[in-house]
């Protein structure tokens, strides 16, 4: 959510920021006009309430002195009717303003490149050597089907398109990755593990910016609960409507979550294999910080996600996303893209974002300043994948494949795989 005070004081800056995010169907003047109407009505209500209170006191005095007060009672009744009418108008303007602001994305940080799409993203660094194959590398789905451990046909019969069934040691590889990632986040980086619901109320989705703009992208149940599109929804809402002591920050949460997305805007994209699924597993990181901590926390979070790939010895690159390619709630985002040999390109495997105070305003989460307990500020929230399980399986299969179609298990995972070294048929 945006700070209306900021928009009033910086209308031109705000307009430029929204333009850089690709928003064209609004004007700052429209926001300010609605805000002006709302504030004028609020002032009128305050004046009328004060006037009614004065008349109420006058009526009390008249009754105590047993003097006539019919005119005053009539005046009070008229003011009450006027208050009710103006209150309705004020609420309408409030709703109009909230509707506009709720659908506008976060303002990009100053060091975010301006651009319309991924072509303006900036490569920050690369890690690892790409493997040179002496045979033509296969795709993960060819390898998986060859191992009789990845079944798309039966999954489609059971659930429809964009679902997969993993069996045997490929299923075990997924479980190994979850254990490996969570153990690292908890033991080496100080995150608190969370086990959480996969169904949430609309309010929780609104708090992190998933609603109202992306209502068509999530699955809604008949009793108005939604399946989470990311663990970020629950982990961030763990501090909703709270006031935290500054000394307690940062707070860091991690969880493995099954996530669900309709992928409504991805028709025709990545229809083969496991790259883009309606259901997928992900290990999520969420941090709650002070405003002064959040920039450093983002760098810390991206390094945590990178460490997973380093341990797995998978080549990757880190990209700083441009203004037009960031997620709705983000003010700055790094993507990690892992190398996929069969596709001969890097593909996203993690996204880490600093959302600033954007989500905190929506969910009303603040912290006391240590130096002055009377001063409260909105927390900053951050989230990141570390990592998406399905895409990590894909990367391991394609980078660690052998000429006979078997998959060498990365050294760091072998202890989670009963000390097996190879996945074969």
Indicate whether 303 and 169 sit together in one domain: yes
Residues 60 and 122 in one domain: no
Residue 111 falls within a domain, yes or no? no
Is 364 contained in some domain?
Answer: yes
- Residue that finishes a domain, picked among 102, 134, 150: 102
Q: Exposed/middle/buried for 272, CB within 10 Å: 0-12, 13-18, 19+?
A: exposed
The CB density around residue 151, as the number of other CB atoms within 10 Å, is 17
Residue finishing a domain among 102, 126, 146:
102
Q: What pLDDT does 264 receive?
A: 63
On whether both 98 and 136 belong to a single domain, the answer is no
pTM above 0.95, yes or no: no
State residue 266's pLDDT score.
60
- State whether 42 and 122 are in the same domain: no
CA distance 352 to 341: 24
pLDDT at residue 267 in the model: 61
- Which CATH number is 126's domain given? 3.30.930.10
Q: Do 57 and 162 fall into the same domain?
A: no
The CATH number for 30's domain is: 1.10.287.40
Task: Tell me the CA distances in angstroms from 46 to 39, 87, 140, one per residue in order.
Answer: 11, 11, 66
Same domain assignment for residues 192 and 165: yes
Range of the domain at 404: 118-423
In a domain, 74, yes or no: yes
Cα end-to-end distance, the chain, whole Å: 52
- 237 and 349 together in one domain: yes
Residue 371 has a pLDDT of 86
Same-domain check for residues 292 and 333:
yes
- Res 283: pLDDT: 98
User: Can you spell out the DSSP letters for 207-232?
Assistant: HTT-TTTTGGGS-B-TTSEEE-SSTH
232, part of any domain: yes
pLDDT at 269: 65
- Residues 282, 232 share a domain: yes
User: Do the domain assignments include residue 112?
Assistant: no
CB proximity list for 231: less than 8 A, separation 6 or greater: 196, 255, 256, 257, 259, 282, 283, 284, 286
Question: Tokens in use for 29?
Answer: 């003047």
The pLDDT of residue 26: 82
Task: Identify the segments of the chain with pLDDT beneath 50.
Answer: none
- pLDDT score for 24: 87
Shared-domain flag, residues 221 and 266: yes
Asked whether residue 353 is assigned to any structural domain, the reply reads yes
Distance CA 285, CA 305 (A): 9
**Cα 385 vs. chain centroid, distance in angstroms?**
10
- Compute how many other C-beta atoms are within 10 angstroms of the C-beta atom of residue 122: 12
Q: Which long-range contacts (CB under 8 A, 24 or more apart) does 35-42 make?
A: 35/4, 35/7, 35/8, 35/97, 37/93, 38/90, 38/93, 38/94, 38/97, 41/86, 41/89, 41/90, 41/93, 42/90
Tell me, yes or no, whether 107 lies in a domain: no
33 in the same domain as 90: yes
Q: How many domains does the chain divide into?
A: 2
Mention every residue, 6+ apart, whose C-beta is less than 8 A from residue 333: 320, 321, 325, 326, 327, 351, 352, 353, 354
Tell me, yes or no, whether 326 and 215 share the same domain: yes
| Domain annotation covers residue 113 | no
Looking at 102, 129, 160, the residue that finishes a domain is: 102
Position 373 scores a pLDDT of 85
Contacts of 280 (CB under 8 A, 6+ apart): 258, 259, 261, 274, 388, 389, 390
Give the pairing of strands 332-340 and 122-127: unpaired
Here the tokens at position 362 are 């929506």
């Amino acid at each position: 959510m945006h700070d209306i005070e900021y928009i009033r004081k910086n209308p031109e800056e705000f307009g430029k920021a929204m333009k850089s995010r690709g928003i064209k169907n609004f004007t700052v003047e429209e926001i300010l006009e609605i805000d002006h109407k709302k504030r004028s009505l609020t002032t009128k209500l305050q004046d009328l309430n004060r006037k009614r209170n004065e008349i109420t006191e006058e009526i009390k005095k008249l009754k105590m002195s047993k003097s006539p007060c019919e005119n005053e009672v009539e005046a009070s009744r008229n003011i009450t009717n006027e208050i009710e009418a103006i209150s309705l108008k004020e609420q309408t303007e409030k709703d109009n303003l909230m509707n506009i602001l709720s659908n506008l994305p976060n303002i990009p940080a100053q060091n975010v490149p301006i651009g319309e799409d991924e072509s303006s993203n900036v490569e920050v660094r690369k890690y690892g050597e790409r493997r040179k194959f002496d045979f033509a590398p296969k795709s993960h789905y060819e390898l998986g089907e060859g191992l009789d451990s990845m079944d798309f046909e039966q999954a489609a019969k059971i659930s429809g398109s964009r679902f997969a069934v993993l069996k045997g040691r490929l299923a075990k590889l997924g479980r190994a990755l979850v254990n490996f990632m969570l153990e690292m986040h908890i033991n080496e980086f100080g995150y608190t593990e969370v086990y959480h619901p996969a169904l949430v109320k609309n309010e929780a989705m609104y708090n992190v910016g998933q609603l109202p703009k992306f209502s068509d992208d999530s699955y809604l149940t008949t009793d108005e609960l939604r399946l989470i599109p990311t663990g970020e929804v629950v982990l961030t809402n763990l501090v909703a409507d709270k006031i935290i002591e500054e000394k307690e920050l940062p707070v860091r949460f991690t969880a493995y979550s099954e996530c669900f997305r309709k992928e409504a805007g991805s028709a025709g994209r990545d229809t083969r294999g496991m790259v883009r699924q309606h259901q997928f597993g992900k290990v999520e990181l969420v941090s709650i910080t002070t405003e002064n901590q959040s920039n450093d926390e983002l760098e810390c979070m991206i390094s945590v996600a990178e460490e997973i790939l380093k341990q797995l010895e998978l080549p990757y690159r880190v990209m700083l996303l441009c203004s037009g390619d960031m997620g709705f709630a983000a003010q700055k985002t790094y993507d990690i893209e892992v190398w996929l040999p069969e596709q001969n390109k890097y593909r996203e495997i993690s996204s880490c974002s600093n959302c600033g105070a954007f989500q905190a305003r929506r969910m009303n989460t603040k912290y006391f300043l240590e130096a002055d307990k009377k001063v409260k500020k909105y927390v900053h929230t951050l989230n990141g994948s570390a990592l998406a399980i399905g895409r990590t399986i894909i990367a391991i299969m394609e980078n660690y494949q052998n000429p006979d179609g078997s998959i060498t298990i990365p050294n760091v995972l072998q202890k989670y795989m009963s000390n097996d070294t190879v996945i074969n048929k």
